[in-house]
């Protein structure tokens, strides 16, 4: 008996109440996510992107989850769960369709009609069999101006089967879609893929941008990225620009597109339109 007790205690020590609570929270969150998928408790928020004149050129669409108890839940908390549970396929299609509806709705407007929308594509979603077909079916349902659509992908996508990835990208590019490489410089892949893949834009990760004034090493990385983009004829955009001095540094170093709290936070579409038009 005492031995059983001892091992019981050991089990408890190994799987402690804190871990149990964490696991429970995760299981709950996943159950809630399934509800969210059914009841579409999602909303896209839009964050402005501007050029060197401070002129609005586009937006990035960022997913928000309205949780009944927890309120707005951050995508960093639930995107990984959507990926591991396979729900990302369905949610990803919903996101793309929403963005296409938005492009279509804006298309006849003199000011909003010029804007591009950047949509984040999870590597899991991209590699899913039938990804192109799903995307094409969205394009067939919603006749959006596809030259205004940018898809943001990350380096991790290129680690496996770059040939398939390239083909998928080319197929979508024939429809006018452009590709942006998100979080550039934070992955562990080599730069070789840059020569092989039909990218249009590099997005300098905010971790570098936020340190340009305080770290010489980060400043050097940003400068090199801008030079690299230029020599590969890629557009470059800096994300996470929070301070005017960071913006000025970037502009002085040849970066011509920016996104960050300095220019605007991600907001619901109604608020975004109000900010742009008034
Ligand atoms: P990301 O694609 O790198 O998006 C940029 C994140 O930085 C966003 O966080 C945005 O709100 C935040 N941000 C923008 N400007 C600034 C700034 O000046 N300072 C700081 N500190 N942060 C800034 P968010 O919306 O919480 O999204 C986090 C991540 O979740 C995204 O990182 C992306 O990886 C993922 N995500 C968001 N929406 C989607 C989506 O629709 N689909 C997919 N697959 N992933 C998404
Ligand atoms: Ca992004
Ligand atoms: Ca990013
Ligand atoms: Ca990120």
The tens digit of pLDDT for each residue in 32-68 reads 999 999 999 999 999 999 999 999 999 999 999 999 8
Atom of ligand 1 nearest to the CA of 241: 18
Atom of ligand 1 nearest to the CA of 262: 18
* Alpha-carbon span 151 to 35, nearest angstrom: 27
Coil, strand or helix at 22: helix
pLDDT of amino acid 12: 53
pLDDT of amino acid 4: 46
The whole-number average pLDDT for the span 120-148 is 97
The model's pTM:
0.93
Tokens of 192: 């070789």
Assign 272 a pLDDT band (cuts: 50, 70, 90): very high
Say what the ipTM of the complex is. Answer: 0.98
Residue 237 DSSP symbol: E
97: Cβ below 6 Å to ligand 1? no
Matching residue, tokens 């639930």: 78
Residue to mutate, 33, 50, 60, 62, ligand 1, most ligand atoms under 8 Å from C-beta: 62
Answer for the pair 162, 193: CB distance below 8 angstroms, yes or no. yes
Of 136, 64, 144, 62, nearest in space to 93 by CA? 136
Would the pLDDT of 273 be above 80?
Answer: yes
Of 201, 128, 139, nearest in space to 174 by CA? 139
- Spell out which residues have Cβ within 5 A of ligand 2, the ion: 120, 152, 182
Q: How many CA atoms lie within 13 A of 43 on its CB side?
A: 15
48: Cβ below 6 Å to ligand 1? no
pLDDT of amino acid 150: 98
264: Cβ below 6 Å to ligand 1? no
- Spell out which residues have Cβ within 5 A of ligand 3, the ion: 182-183
Would the pLDDT of 147 be above 70?
Answer: yes
- Backbone torsion region of residue 25, taken as left when φ is above 0, otherwise alpha when ψ lies between -120 and 50, otherwise beta: alpha
Would the pLDDT of 140 be above 50?
Answer: yes
Cβ of 265: how many Cβ atoms within 10 Å?
14
Atom of ligand 1 nearest to the CA of 239: 15
Residue to mutate, 71, 75, 182, ligand 1, most ligand atoms under 8 Å from C-beta: 75
Matching residue, tokens 């963005």: 99
Assign 11 a pLDDT band (cuts: 50, 70, 90): low
Residue to mutate, 36, 85, 97, 120, ligand 1, most ligand atoms under 8 Å from C-beta: 120
Report the interhelical angle of 88-106 vs 131-141 (nearest 10°). 30
């Amino acid at each position: 008996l005492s031995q059983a007790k001892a091992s019981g205690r050991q089990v408890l020590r190994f799987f402690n109440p804190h871990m149990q609570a964490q696991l429970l929270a995760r299981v709950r969150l996943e159950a809630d996510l399934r509800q969210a998928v059914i009841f579409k408790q999602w909303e896209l928020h839009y964050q402005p992107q501007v050029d060197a004149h401070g002129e609005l050129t586009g937006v990035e669409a960022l997913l928000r989850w309205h949780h009944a108890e927890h309120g707005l839940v951050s995508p960093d908390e639930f995107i990984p769960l959507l990926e591991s549970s396979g729900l990302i396929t369905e949610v990803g299609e919903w996101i793309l369709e929403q963005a296409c509806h938005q492009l279509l709705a804006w298309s006849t407007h003199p000011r909003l009609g010029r804007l591009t929308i950047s949509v984040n594509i999870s590597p899991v979603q991209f590699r899913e069999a039938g990804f192109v077909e799903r995307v094409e079916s969205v394009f067939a349902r919603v006749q959006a101006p596809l030259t205004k659509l940018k898809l943001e992908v990350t380096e991790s996508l290129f680690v496996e089967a770059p040939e398939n990835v390239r083909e998928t990208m080319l197929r979508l590019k024939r429809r006018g879609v452009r590709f942006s490489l998100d979080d550039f410089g934070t992955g562990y892949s080599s730069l070789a893929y840059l020569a092989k893949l039909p990218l249009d834009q590099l997005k300098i990760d905010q971790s570098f941008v936020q340190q340009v004034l305080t770290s010489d090493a980060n400043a050097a990385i940003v400068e090199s990225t801008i030079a690299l983009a230029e020599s590969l004829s890629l557009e470059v955009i800096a994300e996470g620009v929070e301070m005017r001095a960071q913006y000025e540094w970037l502009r002085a170093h040849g970066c011509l597109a920016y996104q960050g709290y300095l220019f605007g936070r991600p907001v619901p579409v109604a608020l975004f339109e109000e900010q742009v038009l008034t």
